Structure 1
Amino acid sequence: MSVLAEGATINPTEHTEVHLAGLVFNLDTIIATVIASLIVIILGLIVRAKITSGVPNRTQLAFETIAKLARDQVEDSIGVKVAPFLVPVAMSLFIFILACNWLSVLPLHWNGHPILEPPTADVNLVFALSLLLFIWWHAAGARRHGGFGKQVVHTVKGHFAPFAPLWIIEEIVHLVSLPLRLFGNIFAGGIMVSLLALLPAYVFWLPGAGWKLFDMGIGLLQAYLFMLLTIAYFKAAMELEEERH
């Protein structure tokens, strides 16, 4: 896919590739992921160094707000006592994905193409992340049910008997829809920013600023939805028969 304007070319599916041992690595995605990870780690270290029981600073207040949001969602969904690990997982997911998504607002463009694109606009990252979570929530479910076989039996019982095998399709849909929802929204936002960047500088600033504010809102919403759906999938995998009723 390409768009031509004033001699510039935009190819949103193009990445800086490195070939090693027969494998292809998207170098730009790797760098952007590392930068987003460093942002999360640095913010965490700052909060830890300046944490106080008194009046919190802005960074601590932001982290406490996200922690409370994650804890409330886990408590309402499955219970913190049942899955205490899910609170830091949900919180880390939200902050990491938000950092990835918001890389798109940086004013770094060359020839109408962002120098640093959000790594969540690369399907390779979002599918890898979702596959990790997919394995994790089934492992957590198997552990709570006393084995993967018992978890499968419990899951099948939750369906109308003739349609019980459809739970396999349901799990595949969870695995595919979770990353594609995030990827599609962030990828589309990147395309719009790239198109607007083709405008002359004296014109770009107004629509560019407006779109980037909108893009930040979309990035925030998608990070929240990803966290929310992850908690819901952990609940579905870990829920016991008596808890279902």
Structure 2
Amino acid sequence: MSAAETSQPVNPVEYMQHHLTDWCIGCDPKTHQTSNIIDFHAFFVDSWLMGLLIAILIGFVAWRIGRSLDADNPTGMQNLLEAMVEFVNGQIKDVFTSRANPLIGPLALTIFVWVFLMNFVDLIPVDLIPLTVAWIGHHVFGVEGPVYFRAVPTANLGAPFGMALTVFALVIFYNLKVKGPVGYVKMFLFHPFGKYLVPVNIVMTLIEEIAKPLSLALRLFGNMFAGELVFMLIALLVLTHADTLNWGLLGWYPLQILAGLGWSIFHILVISLQAFIFMVLTIVYLGMAHTSDH
């Protein structure tokens, strides 16, 4: 997407580093980075704030639709919501052989909508939200120096891992509730090779269980991080030539627009697919937890 012509760094390396730096509390004050890939002392304000704003938006829209439900004369938003509910219920019926837990439907629908909208932020011009936050920081709060803000929550490893670990906690909870503590332990001891290979079963089942939150989080994070990088590279098509205003620069604008439009159309499919996969895997993992056997 187009990058606004501002005082943002025009050096490609500085530009990329600036946009890949989070507004972080508990990070190194000089590098603005965490000491480890996963650092529980760090708090990413930008990811948390964007996720919260999107959650409030979802709640507000759902509340408005709920107030105006009309079976005889449904609105467009009501039709869209009903179609989404039927779509999610269809996915649940394909996984659960018996009547599903009533929590699964609302959880799956919330995950799909929330992840999709957090991914959708990536389609907003790459400089628009960071520049707005920087303007507010400098002119309203008097912040000196650069203001960092990564607008796409799912492009930060913390947000996908937070959602994945929440789903994983539910998986463990329902495994214990449905199978019982003894049945859950037996799953580690005797799956998948039977009672004669208990040590191998423990290792294999541990790997299988740990892979659940990893597959949820890393797939979403990897795709959104890559998409964010591509939009930055497209913005740099013009930004790196902005210091030499001439007729040759005009040739870069159509290329940037075409590249941004093409990638945006493709990225719509990516963000929709990633939200769908996260939702379906959540349903599948919870469905496996609700079976008496493994």
1:232 paired residue number:
284
Q: In the alignment, does 2:193 pair up with 1:141? A: no
Could you tell me whether the CA contact under 8 Å between 2:191 and 2:205 is conserved in 1?
A: no
Offset at residue 158 of structure 1 (A): 4.4
Distance 1:208 1:118, change over 3 A: same
Shift of 1:70: 1.4
Q: Which amino acid aligns with 2:167?
A: L
Aligned-partner Cα distance in 2 for 1:14–1:77: 40
1:18 corresponds to 2:25: yes
- Displacement of 1:237 after TM fit? 1.6
What per-residue deviation string (whole Å, max 9, x for no partner) do you get for residues 5-31 of structure 1? 9524202541112349x9432221122
For 1:68, what is the secondary structure of its paired residue? helix
Please give the alpha-carbon distance, in whole angstroms, between the structure 1 residues aligned to 2:188 and 2:287: 12
Q: CA separation of 1:46/1:103 partners in 2, compared to 1, >3 Å: closer, same or farther?
A: same
The verdict on how the C-alpha distance between 1:194 and 1:115 changes in structure 2, with shifts beyond 3 A counting, is: farther
Letter in 1 for 2:201: A
Could you say if the C-alpha distance between residues 86 and 79 of structure 1 is closer, same or farther in structure 2, counting changes exceeding 3 Å?
Answer: farther
Equivalence for 2:253: 202
Distance 2:81 2:174 in 1: 26
**Are 2:150 and 1:119 equivalent residues in the alignment?**
no
- 1:160 alignment partner, one of 186, 193, 196: 193
Q: Which one has a larger percent strand, Structure 1 or Structure 2?
A: 1
Identity %: 24
**How far does residue 97 in structure 1 lie from its aligned partner after superposition?**
0.3
1:31 to 49, 67, 91: 49
- 2:30 is matched with none
Specify the code of the residue in structure 2 equivalent to 1:153: K
Q: Quote the residue 1:191 is aligned against.
A: 229
Residue of structure 2 aligned with 1:49, choices 34, 56, 67: 67
Q: Paired residue for 1:97, among 107, 111, 115?
A: 115
Give the letter for the 2:91 counterpart.
Answer: Q
Q: Point out which structure has higher relative CO (alpha carbons under 8 A, 6+ apart).
A: 2
Per-residue Cα deviation, 1:44-93 (whole angstroms, up to 9, x for no partner)? 12211222102422221221122112111112211462422101110110
**Structure 1: 5+ residue runs without aligned partners?**
none
Alignment CA distance shift 1:152-1:75 (3 Å): farther
Moved more, 151-160 or 36-45: 151-160
Distance change >3 Å, CA 156–CA 92, structure 1 → 2: farther
- Indicate how the Cα distance of structure 1 residues 108 and 62 shifts in structure 2: closer, same or farther if over 3 A, else same: same
* Letter in structure 2 aligned against 1:202: Y
The reply to whether residue 150 of structure 1 matches residue 183 of structure 2 is yes
Letter in 2 for 1:7: N
Instruction: Return 33-42 or 124-133, whichever deviates more.
Output: 33-42
**2:117 aligns to what SS in structure 1?**
helix
Which of 188, 210, 219 aligns to 2:271? It is: 219
Distance 1:207 1:13 in 2: 21
**Structure 1 counterpart of 2:140:** none
Secondary structure of 2:71's partner?
coil
- Aligned equivalents of 1:34 and 1:135: distance in 2? 21
Task: State TM-score, norm by structure 2.
Answer: 0.73
- CA-based RMSD: 2.6
Alpha-carbon distance between aligned partners in 2 of 1:6 and 1:120, rounded to the nearest angstrom: 26
Tell me which amino acid in the other structure corresponds to 1:10: M
Give the structure 2 partner of residue 174 of structure 1.
212
Aligned residues of 1:104 and 1:116 also touching (Cα < 8 A): no
Q: Unaligned regions of 5+ residues in structure 2, if any?
A: 1-8, 28-39, 132-147, 239-251
